[in-house]
Amino acid sequence: MKQMTQCIVLAASAVLLAPLGLAAQAAAPAQSPDLTGIAHVAFRVSDLDKEVNFFGKLGFEEAFSNVENGRTLEVFIKVNDRQFIEIYPQDDRPRPLGFMHACYESADLNKLHDKYVSEGLHPTQVRKAGAGNLISSLLDPDSRTVEFTQYMPGSRHMEDRGLHLGDRRVSDTLLGFELPVTNLDAAEKFYSKLGFDAEKDGPNYRLSIPANPDLRIELHSARANDQPQFLFSVDDAHRAADQLHHAGLKVQRDNKLVFVHDPDGNSFVLLETGTRNPRRLIPWKKW
C-alpha cells in the first residue's frame, strides 16, 4: 500500500447535502451551460478484473462496458445515476497507470463550448461519444485532460437509470477529489475560467461550482510521488470500515475518515457525513 505524502484540507464550514448530493445537478436549468457536477473520474489500471473486483467490494456495480473484437476497452462502474468511475486497461502502448481525467456535466454542452472559446480556451469540438453522450475536452496547465459531457436521451448512461444501484454501495456520492498541480496560480486561473469558484485556503485552493456548492476539489502544489485522492460520503465511518474489512480489503479508520487503496495504489477516502444533520467536510489526514 502506498503511503500518502501529504495532508489535504477540504471546506471546514458546514454544508447541507441533498439526497445523493445531486439535487443541484438534477435541478440545473436546461438552458444553462454551467457545470453542474462531476460526471465521472477515469483511471488506467494494470488489471481490469482486479479493479472491477475491488469496486465490487465497495458495493459499486459494473453498469456496462465497451468491447471491441472481444477486447474490453473500458468499464463503467456506477456510483449513482449521474456519477460513474471509468476504468481503462493498459493497451499496446504502455501508459502511466492511475488517474487519467475528471469529467464534468453540463446541461448544454454546445453553449458551454462556445463560452469557453469566447474566454480564450481551446476545447475540442463537441461530438457524440461511444456511449451516446455529447463530449468535449481540453488540457489543463499540467497537460491533463479535462472532459465535459451532456447526458443524452438514449445513451447507455441514461438507459441505465435506476439500475446497478445495489444496497451494498458503501457510498452514493463522489464529493470531489484532491489534485496535485505544478503551478497553483495557473491552475486557479484555469479552473476559474471553467466556472469554478476558487477559495484560497492557506497555500491551497478549494474549488466548488455555483450549481453544486457541495462539490469540493482541492488544488495543492505537487510533491514527489504525489497522487490524487478521491472523496466519497458515507453515513457511518465505523460501519463503512467494517463493511470493507469483511469484504477483504485493508482499511484504516481515523475517526470520521476511512482510507482504502485499489490494487494499483489509487487512494479513496470515505468521509462520515451522517444522514440528517448538516454534513461537515473536515481535513483529510495522511497515513
| pLDDT at res. 23 | 37
SS3 20: helix
Statement to judge: residues 131 and 239 lie in one domain: no
In a domain, 15, yes or no: no
pTM of the model: 0.85
For 22, half-sphere exposure in the C-beta direction (CA atoms, 13 angstrom radius) is: 16
Distance in angstroms (rounded) separating the CA atoms of residues 273 and 257:
10
In a domain, 54, yes or no: yes
Statement to judge: residues 228 and 133 lie in one domain: no
| pLDDT at res. 31 | 53
Q: Which residue has the cell 467494517?
A: 242
CA dihedral sign of residues 230, 175, 116, 135: positive
| pLDDT at res. 94 | 79
Distance in angstroms (rounded) separating the CA atoms of residues 41 and 144:
13
Q: pLDDT, tens digit, for every residue of 9-46? A: 333 223 323 333 333 344 444 456 789 999 999 999 99
Statement to judge: residues 194 and 233 lie in one domain: yes
In a domain, 24, yes or no: no
Q: pLDDT, tens digit, for every residue of 225-275? A: 888 999 999 999 999 999 999 999 999 999 999 999 999 999 999 999 876
CATH code, domain carrying 63: 3.10.180.10
Buried b (16+ CB within 10 A) or exposed e, 229-242: bbbbbbebbeebbe
Segments forming the whole domain that contains residue 233 = 166-280
- Choose one of 126, 159, 192: the last residue of a domain: 159
Does residue 173 surpass a pLDDT of 90?
yes
Distance in angstroms (rounded) separating the CA atoms of residues 47 and 264:
9
127, 137 in Cβ contact below 8 A? no
Question: How many structural domains comprise the chain?
Answer: 2
Q: What proportions of the chain, in percent to the nearest 5, are helix, strand and coil? A: 20, 40, 45
Statement to judge: residues 136 and 183 lie in one domain: no
Statement to judge: residues 170 and 246 lie in one domain: yes
Statement to judge: residues 174 and 235 lie in one domain: yes
Statement to judge: residues 174 and 122 lie in one domain: no
In a domain, 20, yes or no: no
- Percent of the chain scored above 90 by pLDDT? 72
Cell numbers describing residue 169: 454501495
Distance in angstroms (rounded) separating the CA atoms of residues 100 and 112:
22
Average pLDDT taken over every residue of the chain: 86
Statement to judge: residues 41 and 153 lie in one domain: yes
Statement to judge: residues 213 and 236 lie in one domain: yes
Statement to judge: residues 37 and 151 lie in one domain: yes
Statement to judge: residues 52 and 138 lie in one domain: yes
In a domain, 114, yes or no: yes
In a domain, 49, yes or no: yes
What is the DSSP annotation of 164-230? S--TT-S-S-EEEEEEEES-HHHHHHHHHHHT-EEEEETTEEEEEETTEEEEEEEEEE--TT---EE
By mean pLDDT, which of 39-48, 175-184, 195-204 is the weakest?
A: 195-204
75, 131 in Cβ contact below 8 A? no
Q: pLDDT, tens digit, for every residue of 60-103? A: 999 999 998 889 999 999 999 999 999 999 877 778 899 999 99
| pLDDT at res. 274 | 77
Statement to judge: residues 192 and 91 lie in one domain: no
| pLDDT at res. 282 | 37
